[in-house]
Amino acid sequence: MDGDRFDLAIVGAGLSGSLLALAAGEAGLGTVLIDRMPLKSFTDAGFDGRTTAIAYTSHRLFAALGLWRDLADQAEPILDIRISDAGHDGRPSPLFLHFDHREAAPEGDEPQPMGWIVENRFLRAALLRRLAACPQVELIAPDEVIETRRDADRADLTLKSGRRLAARLVASAEGRVGTMREEAGIGARAWSYDQIAIVLVARHARPHRGVAQEKFLPGGPFAILPMRDGSTGEHRSSIVWTERADLARRLLELDAPRFQAEFARRFGDHLGRVESTGPRWWFPLGLVHAERYIDTRLVLVGDAAHGLHPIAGQGYNLGVRDIAALVEVLIDTKRLGLDVGAADTLERYARWRRADNFTMVAATDLLNRLFSNDIKPVRLVRDLGLAAVNRVPPLRRFFVRHAMGLVGDLPKLIRGERP
Ligand SMILES: Cc1cc2nc3c(=O)[nH]c(=O)nc-3n(C[C@H](O)[C@H](O)[C@H](O)COP(=O)(O)OP(=O)(O)OC[C@H]3O[C@@H](n4cnc5c(N)ncnc54)[C@H](O)[C@@H]3O)c2cc1C
C-alpha cells in the first residue's frame, strides 16, 4: 500500500492500540496509529502511576513479539494470591482464599508465575520504542480523527491536521470514552460503580515475597500488588484502593499524615512498617461493554469494547487477547489475498472474543457487588464461599488457570507463537 493507504488504521495509542499496532505491523499489515496526545507525554512520570498485572498468557504474547526482553528486568512475578474479607478496621477475616502458582502447572511441568506486575510507564516506553523501529507502522501524534467515512470498499479518515488516510479497516482503541462506537450506532451496557480507585506506591519494611493480596473492605477491594524493589533496595507494592466515590474524594484531600494514617490502617502490619510514597492517582470506576464489537470496516478493541472494574486485574489482559485474535484473523485473510476489512473477517473476530469477554465482565461485576458492602449475612456467605473454594484443590486450580488466561480457544500469540 502506498504512503497514505493502510491495511489497518488504529485510533488510540494507549496500551491496547499500541500493542495492536506492534502485533499487526510485525505480522506484515501496513498500519497507522493515531493519538491525540503527544507520544512523549505517555512516559512522563506523572502520566499514569498504575501498574498492570500481566497474566501468564499475555506475557507469552509479549515474548513472541520480542517485547518481554525489554520488560523482564522491570517485572515482578506473582507467585501467590491471597484473598480475604475485612471489616471497617481493615483486619482480615480468618476465612480466606489462597492461590499458589505451583497448583496451575500440569503434572511434571515447571511451575510458572501466575503473572507479573509491571509499571505502566515501562510498558508504554517499551511499546513506543518497538513501534518506532517497526517499518510497517506509522505513528501520528498528536493528531485526531475528525471525520470517518466507511463503506463497503474502504474507510477514509480526515485528521485535524488536514491529513487524509485510507484504510481497509479502522480499529477503535479509544478507551472507554471513545466516540467511534457511538457514531457507529453501537450501544453498550454501561454504568458507574460510584467508586474511585486511589492508586499509589507503598514502601514497607519486609519483602512481599511475590504475594498479591486482595482485601475486601466495605468500600471496595484494597489490592496490594508486589513490585520490584526500588533503586535503593526498598521493598515496594503498588496499591489499588477502591472506595465509595464521596469518601475517596475526602481521603484524597487529606494532608499527608492523616492520609498515611488511613492508608496504614487499611494496609495492616503484615509487612512491617508501611508508608504511602510519591503522588496519588485516582480513577473513577465503571463498566462499559459494547453490544457488538464490529461494524462496516470498524472493529472495537480493548477498553473501547469492554472497560471493567480492576477488581481482578484483568481489563488489559482481555484487550491483549482481543489483539491476538484480531491479528490472527487479519493476517490469515491477508495471506489469502482477501480483504482484511470484509464483514466475514470481522465476524470471525467478534465470535472468537465474545464469550471470554462476556464471562470476565459478568464475573468482575458480580464480585464487586458481592464484596463491596458490609451487609452481615452477605459477608458470612462470601467468607464461607472463600473458605470452601480454599478447601477444594480442583476449584482453586480452575480459578488460577482462568487468572493466567489458560482457558478457552487461545490465539497463536497467546500460545507464544507468531501467527
Ligand atoms: C486502577 C486501575 C488498575 C488496573 N489494573 C489492571 C491490571 O492490573 N491488569 C489489567 O489487565 N488491567 C488493569 N486495568 C485496566 C487497564 O488499565 C485498561 O484496560 C487499559 O489501560 C486500557 O487501555 P486502552 O488502550 O484500551 O484504553 P486507554 O488507556 O483509555 O487509551 C485510549 C487512548 O486513545 C486515545 N484517544 C481516544 N480517542 C481518540 C481519538 N478520537 N483520536 C485520537 N486518539 C484518541 C487517548 O488519548 C488514549 O491514549 C486497570 C485499570 C484501572 C483503572
- pLDDT at 411 (0 to 100): 97
- pLDDT at 403 (0 to 100): 84
Q: Which grid cell is 77?
A: 512475578
pLDDT at residue 2 greater than cutoff 50: no
Average pLDDT over residues 15-39: 97
pLDDT at residue 415 greater than cutoff 70: yes
Average pLDDT over residues 339-345: 97
Calpha distance 419→414 (Å, rounded)? 10
The share of the chain scoring above pLDDT 90, in percent, equals 77
Q: What is the mean pLDDT of the chain?
A: 93
Q: Which residue has the cell 501467590?
A: 80
- pLDDT at 90 (0 to 100): 65
- pLDDT at 394 (0 to 100): 81
Which residue's CA lies nearest to atom 18 of ligand 1? Answer: 316
237: alpha, beta or left, given left = phi > 0 and alpha = psi -120 to 50? Answer: beta
Mutate to test the pocket of ligand 1, among 36, 51, 192 (most ligand atoms within 8 A of CB): 36
Q: How confident is the model at residue 278 (pLDDT cuts 50, 70, 90)?
A: confident
For residue 184, the 8-state DSSP code is T
Fold of 5-75+120-190+288-374+408-415: FAD/NAD(P)-binding domain (3.50.50)
Q: Are 181 and 304 in contact (CB under 8 A)?
A: yes
Q: Are 33 and 17 in contact (CB under 8 A)?
A: yes
CA 46 to chain centre: 19
Q: Are 97 and 59 in contact (CB under 8 A)?
A: no
203 CB within 6 A, ligand 1 = no
- pLDDT at 88 (0 to 100): 63
366 burial via Cβ count (<10 Å: 0-12, 13-18, 19+): exposed
Q: Which residues contact 305 (CB under 8 A, 6 or more apart)?
A: 289, 290, 293, 319, 322, 353, 357
- pLDDT at 1 (0 to 100): 40
Average pLDDT over residues 159-164: 96
Write down the pTM of the prediction. Answer: 0.95
Structural domain boundaries in the chain = 5-75+120-190+288-374+408-415
Average pLDDT over residues 286-292: 97
Average pLDDT over residues 67-78: 96
What is the SS3 assignment for 416?
coil
Calpha distance 158→252 (Å, rounded)? 41
315 CB within 6 A, ligand 1 = yes
Cα–Cα distance list, 123 to 67, 73, 211 (Å)? 9, 12, 21
Residue type at 9? A
199 CB within 6 A, ligand 1 = yes
Kind of pairing between the strands at 5-11 and 31-34:
parallel
405 CB within 6 A, ligand 1 = no
The share of the chain scoring above pLDDT 70, in percent, equals 98
Calpha distance 307→148 (Å, rounded)? 23
Which residue's CA lies nearest to atom 53 of ligand 1? Answer: 283
Q: How far is the CA of 16 from the centre of ligand 1 (A)?
A: 7
pLDDT at residue 87 greater than cutoff 80: no
- pLDDT at 380 (0 to 100): 80
pLDDT at residue 112 greater than cutoff 60: yes
Calpha distance 313→323 (Å, rounded)? 18
Q: How far is the CA of 31 from the centre of ligand 1 (A)?
A: 20
